Structure 1
Amino acid sequence: MYESERSSDSAGSGYVPPQDMAAEQSVLGAMLLSKNAIDPATDLLESRDFYRPAHELIFDVITDLSGRGEPADAITVAAELTRRGEIGRIGGAAYLHDLVQGVPIAANVDYYAEIVHEKAVLRRLVEVGQQVAQLGQSGTGEIQDIVDRAQKAVLDVDGTKSGEDYNVLSDLMSSTIDELEELETRSGEVHGVMSGFPDLDRLTTGFKPGQMIVVAARPGVGKSTLGLDFVRNASIRQGLTSAIFSLEMTGSEIAMRLLSAEAKVSISHMRGGTVNKFDWDAISRTMPRVMSAPIVIDDSPNMTMPEIRSKARRIQKEHGLGLVVIDYLQLMTSGKRVENRQVEVSEFSRQMKL
């Protein structure tokens, strides 16, 4: 038997808090089935987000094993639960295999996790509403203390795992001085990802980790070409892994543009079939250099930001990742109902930092 459900739906009321067992099972099944599903799930979820206590326990064990660098599949998780004496709490080892067998597609773990998270937020809203009502009805204590406790409970509803991402200015000064001293010793030389344009690099001293750079211009003036130039310089010149997520050009078109730029052969000649002997010689000399460059291209149509984030995480984990180019934001869709297109594109920009 599984460990009993949350007590909040008991007391004979018949009320069942918001939850989705199929989504919870699919998240856990995906995590057990593929190690690539663990990071996307743990990025969004905490163990408390699961309604069934058994699922909370399984999630904790998977993340614990993964954090220790050990495999986390149905066999290893069952062994760990047995070692802890808790295998009975989930219904036995067979339930883990049922989770693996029941997951539709492991690659969709982002969507399953989002459902679980939304249900968890709704449950906490109900709980917080009851807590705030009790605080107001009791009327005991200082009014400001009651308000503070209510506000704290409400702020914790979404379960966002952002941690303390704010800093007091004084805490930042030490690292800022260290950076200034490091820049002084380099005499202004570029120490980030170089763009390939010396004047720009002198102004920026290179693109830094965590930065989001938006290239904005009217249609047809070369935004995509500039992005590919950044990729060429990062991957071919500096050996950094670059990822191109293109919703406009196909992978073969991107490859042709990269080869054209690197070989200095007109793209119109390549497309028009008018490449001469000298052009072919230049292409032949350039081909090995371009082929060996650590560039990953994804031209999947209708990509969403969660998909891009998940893929970028996998690329980072498998190859390292120095630069991400998305071409381009206006072609992306969220798959959700939004107030207007401007709000949707603004949300993409907000989610861009991986």
Structure 2
Amino acid sequence: MDEPRSNAPHLRENGGHPPSPDITAVPPHDVAAEAALLGACMHHPDVIDAVRHLLDGADFYRPAHESIWRALLALRSEDKPTDPIVLCDRLREQDDLQRVGGAPYLHQLAGATPSVGGAEHYAGIVRKLADLRRLRTSSIRTVQRTMEPGADPDLIRSEVESEVRAERERALASGQGRLSRYIVDGWRFVTETGADKQPLWGTRAQTAWASGESLMIVGAPGVGKTTIAHQLIMGRLGLANSVLDMPVAPGKRVLYLAMDRSQQIARALARRIEPAHEARLREGLAVWQGPLPATLDKEPDLLADLAAAHQADTIVIDSLKDAVSTLVDDALAVAYNNARQRAIRQGVEVMELHHQRKATEGAPRVQRPSLDRVYGSTWLTSGAGSIVFIGGEAGDPAVTLHHLKCPTGEIGPLQVLHDHERGMSQVDPALDPVAILRQRPDGLTVRELATIQSGDSNPDRAASEKARRTLERLAKAGLAIKAEGAAGGSGGGQQARYRASVRHIGAVS
């Protein structure tokens, strides 16, 4: 009869005992990630604030890197520069400079970082490998205890459980530190977290794109979504001051995700480009061509990672259908919104181009669209800060812009004229309230403006209220002067009239 074969021959070779762990193997580490992280901290002291809660000094594999890290922390706590020269001086004072490799090594580290914006990701790598080293050390120690003569399994189990509890408490304390930068008290939340920032597009009273909130531009194919988006990109690059008569705040760098028909997107953008723009486009605009390596509902950190890798403070998604596995699934829409909000939390401004639902045959055509005209799950629109809907037919030179979701006051509806040859858009002067005022020396009443803008000789209450807010806003901005109407004898009275201000007329003429 054959001898039963053991399924663990390595136990027979070791006298029935499990093999001892290879304590000579190199522990998990990534010197390149440590160098990139330290280099990023030397370039920008603010980076230290962003990563200090992610790491302990002992997380660095190289002792020299731990010493450099502690010196950087000390300089930052004293609000001093963290560049290699100042760092060299500090380490020299501590008699540590030569031990860490001298000034040449510090300058080498300063040049080792591929991207300052990736510092948190480098820190995450360093921390993950440090945790693996701790687990490895603990496991080796446990195995060695089991090999000792007279080993007591109950005692070993108790010691292991104590170590696990201690590690859990350490990880929890560290995690609280990592998350603490996202927690602020109520007063700071109201006064210091950017709620009063200038909008990216529009004014405080009428905001089309608020800082820290995404902008979604919705419409059927061919109505000018990309045309409007490209003008906003030019504004973010500082190459245009306004779009549709609303100011655009300049940014630093735009990452454009041209995921579908990138050649068509290039042709459309080329309409606005001049030779004088070359330097700014090379420096300030990065374009991703084609599909992403993963959809954003599957990889919620990808959007923030892409922005960090390209040092972009603005990211444009063209279009949303190419970024999410399916737009109608509520769970995937929530996952995408998670990706959107993670990017925004990292200081990235987000613009999304999206499509409307197909019109149902035979359904009545409504003048004003609503949020249910936006294709996909309601959670896509719920997480957006501002939603602009462009109504019209493909290729139309004249379309209507509706503001479906407003951070502040509603904008429009605006009658927009596209110049398809130059890639420019403007508000139809015939319906621009400022232009109308200029052409009416006798001024306008609320009802008169409502009649002109709505095209209805008997405007409803909503149209009249919108006209009233428009005229009041112009008066507040100094573009119009309000003259109260005279009271009538029977309790009635004339409506107030608004006239273009003399200063504004003079500036225009």
TM-score by length of 2: 0.39
Answer whether contact 2:29 2:61 (CA < 8 A) is retained: yes
Map 1:101-120; keep pairs closer than 5 Å: 103=112, 106-107=114-115, 110=118, 112-120=122-130
Answer whether contact 2:235 2:250 (CA < 8 A) is retained: no
Question: 96, 100, 110: which is aligned to 1:86?
Answer: 96
CA distance in 2: counterparts of 1:96 and 1:174, whole angstroms:
37
Q: Which amino acid aligns with 2:89?
A: A
Map 1:187-226; keep pairs closer than 5 Å: 192-193=198-199, 195-196=201-202, 205=207, 207-215=209-217, 222-226=224-228
Question: What is the match of residue 306 of structure 1?
Answer: 305
CA 1:115 to 1:148, structure 2 compared with 1: closer, same or farther past 3 Å? closer
| Residue correspondences, number | 273
Q: Does 1:161 align with 2:159?
A: no
CA distance in 1: counterparts of 2:176 and 2:139, whole angstroms:
16
Question: 313, 333, 342: which is aligned to 1:351?
Answer: 342
What 5-or-longer segments of structure 1 have no aligned partner? 1-11, 184-189, 260-282, 316-322, 334-340
Q: Shift of residue 21 of structure 1?
A: 2.6
Partner of 2:180, secondary structure, is coil
Q: What do you get for the CA RMSD once the two structures are aligned?
A: 5.6
CA 1:112 to 1:240, structure 2 compared with 1: closer, same or farther past 3 Å? same
Partner of 2:227, secondary structure, is helix
Q: Name the structure where strand makes up a greater proportion of residues.
A: 2
Question: 45, 58, 66: which is aligned to 2:68?
Answer: 58
Question: What is the match of residue 55 of structure 2?
Answer: 46
Answer whether contact 1:41 1:113 (CA < 8 A) is retained: no
Aligned identity (percent) is: 22
Whose radius of gyration is greater, 1 or 2?
2
Q: Shift of residue 98 of structure 1?
A: 5.5
CA distance in 2: counterparts of 1:330 and 1:71, whole angstroms:
44
Question: What is the match of residue 241 of structure 1?
Answer: 250
CA 1:60 to 1:194, structure 2 compared with 1: closer, same or farther past 3 Å? same
Q: Shift of residue 209 of structure 1?
A: 3.2
Structure with the bigger RCO (C-alpha within 8 Å, sep 6+) is 1
Partner of 1:246, secondary structure, is strand
CA 1:84 to 1:166, structure 2 compared with 1: closer, same or farther past 3 Å? same
Question: 87, 103, 106: which is aligned to 1:96?
Answer: 106
Partner of 1:106, secondary structure, is coil
TM-score by length of 1: 0.52
User: Cα deviation per residue 1:247-290 (whole Å; 9 max; x = unaligned)?
Assistant: 2157965654557xxxxxxxxxxxxxxxxxxxxxxx9xxx999x
CA distance in 1: counterparts of 2:155 and 2:181, whole angstroms:
29
Answer whether contact 2:75 2:82 (CA < 8 A) is retained: yes
User: Cα deviation per residue 1:14-59 (whole Å; 9 max; x = unaligned)?
Assistant: 4654212343234445666xx26x7668645535332223202213
Answer whether contact 1:128 1:154 (CA < 8 A) is retained: no
Answer whether contact 2:115 2:311 (CA < 8 A) is retained: no
Q: Shift of residue 210 of structure 1?
A: 2.4
Q: Name the structure where helix makes up a greater proportion of residues.
A: 1
Partner of 1:78, secondary structure, is helix
Q: Shift of residue 216 of structure 1?
A: 5.6
Answer whether contact 1:24 1:55 (CA < 8 A) is retained: yes
What 5-or-longer segments of structure 2 have no aligned partner? 1-21, 142-153, 293-301, 325-331, 347-509
